[in-house]
Amino acid sequence: MPNTQQLQDLTTQVRRDILRMVHKVNSGHPGGSLGCAEFFVSLYQDIMDRNDTFDMDGIGEDLFFLSNGHISPVYYSVLARSGYFPVDELNTFRLLNSRLQGHPTTHDGLPGVRIASGSLGQGFSVALGAAQSKKLNGDNHLVYSLHGDGELQEGQNWEGIMYAAGNKVDNIISTIDLNGQQIDGSTDVVLPMGNIRAKFEAFGWTVVDIENGNDITAVLEGMAKAKSLTGKGKPVCVLLKTIMGNGVDFMMHTHAWHGKAPNDEQLAEGLAQNAETLGDY
Amino acid sequence: MKTYTNTGSKDTRSGFGAGLTELGQTNENVVALCADLIGSLKMDDFKANHPERFFQVGIAEANMIGLAAGMTIGGKIPFTGTFANFSTGRVYDQIRQSVAYSGKNVKICASHAGLTLGEDGATHQILEDIGLMKMLPEMTVINTCDYNQTKAATIALAKHDGPAYLRFGRPKVPNFTPEDQNFEIGKAVQLTEGTDVTILATGHLVWEALEAAKSLHEKGISAEVINIHTIKPLDDKAILESVAKTGCVVSAEEHNVIGGLGESVARVLSQHKPAPQEFVGTQDTFGESGTSDQLMDKYGLNAKAIINASEKVIKRK
Ligand SMILES: Cc1ncc(C[n+]2csc(CCOP(=O)(O)OP(=O)(O)O)c2C)c(N)n1
Ligand SMILES: [Mg+2]
């Protein structure tokens, strides 16, 4: 298993990938992607028990579902750098005829992706279904999922959240990217959601907090703790506090870069703050 | 042949925003709702000018439709704003029961329709929304072609009593219809006169149809271009009169050929005056990422495709 320095190096490289991908096509979502880099790297390089080759059914391995599909840049970068497809293919992000669609899709056969996402609020249900399928198969591996905090405003989430506890789906770890931002502003301005921890608890979930979701060690510890809480009759939720745009100073703590690509100068500035580690694609 | 000038390309969604701004000043019953896409829908001005009549609902489209239906009780005229996909498929049953069946005066305003939103890809590119909405009893369905027309349609909708779906798009496209036009719901607009083929176009494809007509004219083919901005109620009379003259039709839309304008036209023709028809639209497929122009080319939704379809349909007469 990679050590912390190696994970940090990979995280920096992933940040470069994200910036270069969205810059090239002048579209895509860098803010949420940058904030979740540590989470994805920890998940794919350490936390998840994964098979070497991809197959849709994923029997005998942990599964991951991205519900907030707009942060595809971080997902694609980490999938590529975890061996699912050639790193060079990141060059085709959002281009015509690419497997790297704006939002993740199974339609074009990209290894690593098991469901389309992009229309928000559907991922809880899908991840819960896959978790139920694992139980039916007698497969005691886990299902992981990631959701945006703004995304939680969609009602379907709460149908799934209620279902999970009611049906004791205890082989799932669902993480919420608590960056406090969405498109039109901070979540508190757009639609205040009150105490999210209390809401999950009231719906019967076990909740784990990761106070610094941009610290690799904190993420590893928090996710390990979440893992230890599975199999006890309750679904597990991780509240991951991140900084939107993390690692590029002018993109941090604002919704402004939710869905906006840097120009040439801004790209150079962002890359200068994240020196090459493992090599650009 | 009558020709049209692009007075400066603009996005149709900005036409909606401008129309809403004007309504804010002229009709105090108009209220607006948005689901975390104020900038994309160009609703910023209305929000700034009338904060008390603007409702940010968060990322919760189903709730938005229900709230809008409720606001009509007491005389408000709600305009909801989100992307076309999340305005229709996402909330179909909410629209069906609380708006259409209940006969509520809600205006469902939908941006980023079709392929031309570009790089976001198929999850956001709905090509089925005209079909979904036209199937709902009592729903009016409008797909405007440029900035000026979208602005005029937005304003006209406030005077129209009943549920309506207004479809527009993301990219900058030629602006060529009159600034001071009187938008008449359900009344097709004849743009060129012709005798060899009728081209019935809607939305972004109207300008492409005019471009096609120019090229056809150079080849000695006389095309009658009609802007079908209202897909429901359809202007049967205008269609039948034109086809009586030309004897064949091309329908053109940024939508699946299944369920779109073309099928509505085919129904009218087969009932009253069967005639050969070719369908320019997507061929029962999802979209994908790419630039707007690349996608319109790959999926055959431009002047070139309309020219080919016209030549083909004329041979079938
Ligand atoms: C059903 C649906 N409605 C609206 C959108 C448009 N949209 C894309 S991302 C987004 C904001 C999401 O906020 P959050 O989940 O907090 O993600 P972040 O901005 O933090 O990355 C919205 C409204 C969508 N993709 N799907
Ligand atoms: Mg957020």
Ligand 1 in reach of A162 Cβ (< 6 A): no
**Which of ligand 1's atoms lies nearest the C-alpha of A119?**
26
**Which of ligand 1's atoms lies nearest the C-alpha of A255?**
19
Contact with chain A for residue B291, Cβ under 8 A: yes
Q: Give the helix/strand (H/E) hosting B253.
A: strand B249-256
Q: Per residue in B85-137, pLDDT tens?
A: 999 999 999 999 999 999 999 999 999 999 999 999 999 999 999 999 999 99
B61 is annotated as an active-site residue:
yes
Taking the CA of residue B121 as centre, how many other CA atoms within 13 Å lie in the half-sphere pointing to its CB?
Answer: 29
Q: Per residue in B274-292, pLDDT tens?
A: 999 999 999 999 999 999 9
Distance of CA A29 to the CA centre of its chain: 13
- In a domain, residue A107? The reply is yes
For residues B233 and B255, give the distance between their C-alpha atoms in angstroms, rounded to a whole number: 18
Ligand 1 in reach of A32 Cβ (< 6 A): yes
Q: Which amino acid is at A271?
A: L
Ligand 1 in reach of B36 Cβ (< 6 A): yes
Helix axes B303-315, B205-218, angle to 10 degrees: 60
Alpha helices, DSSP H only, in chain A?
4-25, 30-35, 37-42, 72-81, 123-136, 155-166, 187-190, 196-202, 216-228, 264-272
Give the nearest partner residue to A94 out of B34, B90, B119, using CB atoms: B119
Domain residues for the domain of A15 are 4-272
Structural domain spans, chain B: 10-173, 189-315
Ligand 1 in reach of A68 Cβ (< 6 A): yes
User: Can you tell me whether residue B17 is helix, strand or coil?
Assistant: helix
* ipTM of this complex prediction, to 2 decimal places: 0.95
Q: Read out DSSP for A168-232?
A: T--SEEEEEEE-SEETTEEHHHH-----HHHHHHHTT-EEEEES-TT-HHHHHHHHHHHHHTTTS
Banded model confidence at residue A78, pLDDT cuts 50, 70, 90: very high
Domain spanning B10-173: CATH 1.10.260.40: no
Structure tokens at B271: 């009932």
Cβ neighbour number for residue B266 with a 10 Å cutoff: 17
Distance of CA A248 to the CA centre of its chain: 19
- In a domain, residue A109? The reply is yes
- In a domain, residue A102? The reply is yes
**Which of ligand 1's atoms lies nearest the C-alpha of A152?**
15
Pick the CATH number of B189-315 from 3.40.50.920, 3.40.47.10, 3.30.70.260, 3.40.640.10: 3.40.50.920
The reported pTM is 0.97
Contact B213, B199 (CB under 8 A): yes
For residues A85 and A77, give the distance between their C-alpha atoms in angstroms, rounded to a whole number: 10
- In a domain, residue A279? The reply is no
Cβ–Cβ gap A103/B86 under 8 Å:
no
Q: What is the arithmetic mean of pLDDT over A230-245? A: 98
Interface A-B: count of C-beta contacts within 8 A: 95
- In a domain, residue A249? The reply is yes
Ligand 1: residue of A120, A239, A252 to mutate (most ligand atoms within 8 A of CB) is: A120
In the predicted model, is pLDDT for residue A77 greater than 90? yes
CA of B224 to the centre of ligand 1 (A): 43
pLDDT per residue of chain B (317 residues) written in tens, 0 to 9: 999 999 999 999 999 999 999 999 999 999 999 999 999 999 999 999 999 999 999 999 999 999 999 999 999 999 999 999 999 999 999 999 999 999 999 999 999 999 999 999 999 999 999 999 999 999 999 999 999 999 999 999 999 999 999 999 999 999 999 999 999 999 999 999 999 999 999 999 999 999 999 999 999 999 999 999 999 999 999 999 999 999 999 999 999 999 999 999 999 999 999 999 999 999 999 999 999 999 999 999 999 999 999 999 999 99
Q: Does residue B137 have a cis peptide bond before it, meaning omega lies within 30 degrees of 0?
A: no
Cβ neighbour number for residue A133 with a 10 Å cutoff: 15
**CATH number of the CATH domain containing A117:** 3.40.50.970
Give the nearest partner residue to B36 out of A28, A69, A150, using CB atoms: A150
Contacts of B63 (CB under 8 A, 6+ apart): A155, B57
Structure tokens at B214: 């120019």
CA of B298 to the centre of ligand 1 (A): 28
Cβ neighbour number for residue B302 with a 10 Å cutoff: 20
pLDDT of residue B274: 98
How far apart are the CA of B172 and the nearest CA of chain A, in angstroms? 16
How far apart are the CA of B254 and the nearest CA of chain A, in angstroms? 18
In the predicted model, is pLDDT for residue A1 greater than 90? no
Structure tokens at A127: 């991840």
Please give the backbone phi and psi of residue A64, each rounded to the nearest 5 degrees, phi first.
-130, 140
Contacts of A140 (CB under 8 A, 6+ apart): A134, A171, A231
Ligand 1: residue of A22, A36, A68, A251 to mutate (most ligand atoms within 8 A of CB) is: A68
CA angle B114, B115, B120 (to 5 degrees): 110
Give the nearest partner residue to A119 out of B36, B40, B85, using CB atoms: B85
- Does this chain's domain B10-173 share its CATH topology with B189-315? yes
Please give the backbone phi and psi of residue A214, each rounded to the nearest 5 degrees, phi first.
-110, 20
- In a domain, residue A200? The reply is yes
Task: Name the residue among B57, B126, B66, B63 with its Cα closest to residue B96.
Answer: B66
DSSP A151: G
Residues of A in contact with B58 (CB under 8 A): 150, 153, 182, 190-191
Strand pairing partners for B34?
A: B56, B81
For residues B97 and B77, give the distance between their C-alpha atoms in angstroms, rounded to a whole number: 18
Contact B287, A107 (CB under 8 A): no
Structure tokens at A162: 């209620």
Per the document, the length of chain A is 281
Per the document, the length of chain B is 317
Structure tokens at B35: 């689901």
Task: Name the residue among B74, A149, B82, B57 with its Cα closest to residue B66.
Answer: B57
Average confidence score pLDDT of chain A? 98
Contact B221, B311 (CB under 8 A): yes
* b/e sequence A202-239, b meaning 16+ C-beta within 10 Å: ebebbbbebeebbebebbbebbeebbebbeeebbbbbb
- In a domain, residue A35? The reply is yes
Structure tokens at B169: 């798009």
Q: What is the arithmetic mean of pLDDT over A10-23? A: 98
Please give the backbone phi and psi of residue B68, each rounded to the nearest 5 degrees, phi first.
-60, -45
Number of domains chain A is built from: 1
Structure tokens at A209: 């907090």
CA of A62 to the centre of ligand 1 (A): 26
